[in-house]
């Protein structure tokens, strides 16, 4: 059996799916340990997994919460720019502390989230096998594929390629602090330079929790890329919800995820747009609203801090979301159409896929208004094409294999790599 280490961004949207994958591997007899900043210990252990802290010598407790507060104030490119400094500090922490932790724990292979790409450098430096996991949108650093942070559709034309390449150039330029940190350690460990942020060097496997049907029609994908669908299984951490307060009306579920959940103006706009509809609005805000703000919301929405998302979405007729991939995939797993309000990071790219697949409609946060949102909600609720297209993706997800397939791919890759090395070195 193998001892796996997991390196990923310290955000719930990455921790949750990778926790599900970790639990599946544990159920097969493997050992799994998250290498994370100290603030995440309670979260990781509550998901039933091992935790080992990195960054204790320099990391200030509470920094993660403060980062969330600052990010929640920002949208679009400003949020991306703010996150660069934090990501650079995390990259430095991982490069400095993870190698000793891995050696001490006896970790034999790494599962590296694509958005914490520095983990691949650590694996290469130590000569460890690693698997790339896209908990977020699978990032294809190709000229024909629009960058993950843009709302552009896929068009394999000369002008679109030039546009995409220009955007990638600006991304790499803006991420120079992260790249410089990574390359300082790559030089120290005699590795070739790394000059394109989020370009995975994985060769054994790259696993995405999307399904191919919820990505652009990209030709000639690498054979080691596997679309397995959402990484989900039962968490030991339970979340209560007042199901007895559901009225039986068509249910509209609204969430802005774990980082953008303090945007009270967006929640107010959603509540106003749903007021008077023959539907019940359920809002989950993740602690981003206080009691006074909740009391001022128009209409009579059912508002909770947290909800068992899958259980609530399974009863929904529509999801209103910031277009975070996990909420999108949870909705499509139950054939629930979407109204997306992308705010920043990969959300515009996820929204572009919602539009491409016809599973919902998109309103950029900069263009959001009560009247536009109400009209869009009504259209998605009443036009059958959205439900039909969402159910098509639901069928693809049901056949995708999910977390069990991901674990089997990982096991097979490591077995094949072990056999290859045995044959090469006798």
| Each residue's pLDDT expressed in tens, for the chain with a length of 426 residues | 999 999 999 999 999 999 999 999 999 999 999 999 999 999 999 999 999 999 988 777 777 666 666 666 655 566 667 778 888 989 999 999 999 999 999 999 999 999 999 999 999 999 999 999 999 999 999 999 999 999 999 999 999 999 999 999 999 999 999 999 999 999 999 999 999 999 999 999 999 999 999 999 999 999 999 999 999 999 999 999 999 999 999 999 999 987 666 678 999 999 999 999 999 999 999 888 889 999 999 999 999 999 999 999 999 999 999 999 999 999 999 999 999 999 988 999 999 999 999 999 999 999 999 999 999 999 999 999 999 999 999 999 999 999 999 999 999 999 988 777 666 665
238 falls within a domain? no
pLDDT for res 61: 74
pLDDT for res 249: 97
Q: Indicate if 71 and 171 belong to the same structural domain.
A: yes
Q: Indicate if 163 and 265 belong to the same structural domain.
A: no
Q: Indicate if 279 and 391 belong to the same structural domain.
A: yes
Q: Would you report the helix, strand and coil content of the chain in percent, each value rounded to 5?
A: 50, 15, 40
Q: Indicate if 163 and 294 belong to the same structural domain.
A: no
Q: How many domains does the chain have?
A: 2
Q: What are phi and psi of 236, to 5 degrees?
A: -70, -10
Q: Indicate if 150 and 254 belong to the same structural domain.
A: no
User: 302 - beta bridge partners?
Assistant: 282
pLDDT for res 77: 61
Maximum CA extent, the chain:
73
236 falls within a domain? no
Q: For residue 422, what are the CA distances in angstroms to 4, 115, 127, 202?
A: 20, 32, 15, 20
Contact of 261 with 288, CB cutoff 8 Å: yes
Could you give the strand order of the β-sheet that contains 280-284, starting from the edge strand earlier in sequence?
302-304, 280-284, 251-255, 316-321, 338-340, 360-362
- What is the CB-side half-sphere exposure of residue 151 using CA atoms within 13 A? 17
Which of helix, strand or coil describes residue 258?
A: coil
Q: For residue 281, what are the CA distances in angstroms to 11, 65, 250, 252?
A: 26, 28, 9, 5
Q: Indicate if 373 and 410 belong to the same structural domain.
A: no
Q: Indicate if 223 and 278 belong to the same structural domain.
A: no
* Residue from 227, 234, 214 nearest 350 by CA: 214
Q: Indicate if 191 and 261 belong to the same structural domain.
A: no
pLDDT for res 286: 87
Contact of 56 with 173, CB cutoff 8 Å: no
CATH of the domain at 367: 3.40.50.2000
Q: Cα(338)–Cα(253) distance, rounded to whole angstroms?
A: 10
374 falls within a domain? yes
394 falls within a domain? yes
235 falls within a domain? no
Q: Indicate if 370 and 410 belong to the same structural domain.
A: no
Contact of 138 with 114, CB cutoff 8 Å: yes
pLDDT for res 71: 64
From start to end of 219-296, where are the E strands?
225-227, 251-255, 280-284
Q: Indicate if 212 and 273 belong to the same structural domain.
A: no
Contact of 59 with 15, CB cutoff 8 Å: no
Q: For residue 142, what are the CA distances in angstroms to 114, 283, 373?
A: 15, 38, 34
Q: Indicate if 370 and 408 belong to the same structural domain.
A: no
Domain that holds residue 172: 3-229+400-425
Give the helix/strand (H/E) hosting 112.
strand 109-113
CB atoms within 10 A of CB 397: 26
Q: Indicate if 380 and 412 belong to the same structural domain.
A: no
pLDDT for res 74: 58
DSSP string, 390-416: HHHHHHHHHTS-HHHHHHHHHHHHHHH
pLDDT for res 302: 97
């Amino acid at each position: 059996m193998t001892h796996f280490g997991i390196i990923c961004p310290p955000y719930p949207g990455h921790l949750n799916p990778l926790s599900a994958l970790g639990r599946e591997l544990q159920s097969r007899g493997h050992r799994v340990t998250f290498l994370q900043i100290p603030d995440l210990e309670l979260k990781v252990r509550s998901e039933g997994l091992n935790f080992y802290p990195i960054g204790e010598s320099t990391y200030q407790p509470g920094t993660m919460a403060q980062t969330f507060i600052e990010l929640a104030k920002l949208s679009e490119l400003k949020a991306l720019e703010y996150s660069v400094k934090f990501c650079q500090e995390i990259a430095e922490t991982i490069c400095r502390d993870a190698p000793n932790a891995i050696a001490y724990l006896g970790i034999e292979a790494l599962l590296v989230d694509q958005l914490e790409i520095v983990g691949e450098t650590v694996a290469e430096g130590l000569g460890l096998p690693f698997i790339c996991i896209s908990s977020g949108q699978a990032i294809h650093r190709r000229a024909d594929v629009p960058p993950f942070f843009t709302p552009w559709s896929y068009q394999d034309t000369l002008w679109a390629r030039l546009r995409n390449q220009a955007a990638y150039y600006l991304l790499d330029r803006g991420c120079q602090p992260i790249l410089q940190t990574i390359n300082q350690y790559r030089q120290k460990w005699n590795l070739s330079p790394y000059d394109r942020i989020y370009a995975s060097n994985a060769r054994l496997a790259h696993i995405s929790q999307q399904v191919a049907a919820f990505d652009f029609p990209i030709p000639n994908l690498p054979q080691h890329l596997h679309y397995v669908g959402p990484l989900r299984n039962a968490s030991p951490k339970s979340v209560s919800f007042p199901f007895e307060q559901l009225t039986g009306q068509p249910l509209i579920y609204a969430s802005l995820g774990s980082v953008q959940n303090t945007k009270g103006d967006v929640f107010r706009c959603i509540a106003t747009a749903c007021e008077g509809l023959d539907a019940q609005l359920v809002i989950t805000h993740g602690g981003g609203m206080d009691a006074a703000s909740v009391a001022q919301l128009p209409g009579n929405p059912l508002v909770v801090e947290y909800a068992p998302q899958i259980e609530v979405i399974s009863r929904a007729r529509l999801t209103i979301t910031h277009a975070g991939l996990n909420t999108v995939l949870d909705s499509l797993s139950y054939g629930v159409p979407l109204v997306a309000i992308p705010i920043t990071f990969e959300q515009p790219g996820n929204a572009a896929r919602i539009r491409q697949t016809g599973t919902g409609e998109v309103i950029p946060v900069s263009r959001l208004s009560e009247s536009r949102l109400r009209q869009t909600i009504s259209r998605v609720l009443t036009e059958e094409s959205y439900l039909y297209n969402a159910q098509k993706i639901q069928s693809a997800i049901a056949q995708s294999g999910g977390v069990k397939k991901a674990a089997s791919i990982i096991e097979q890759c490591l077995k094949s790599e072990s056999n290859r090395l045995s044959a090469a070195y006798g």
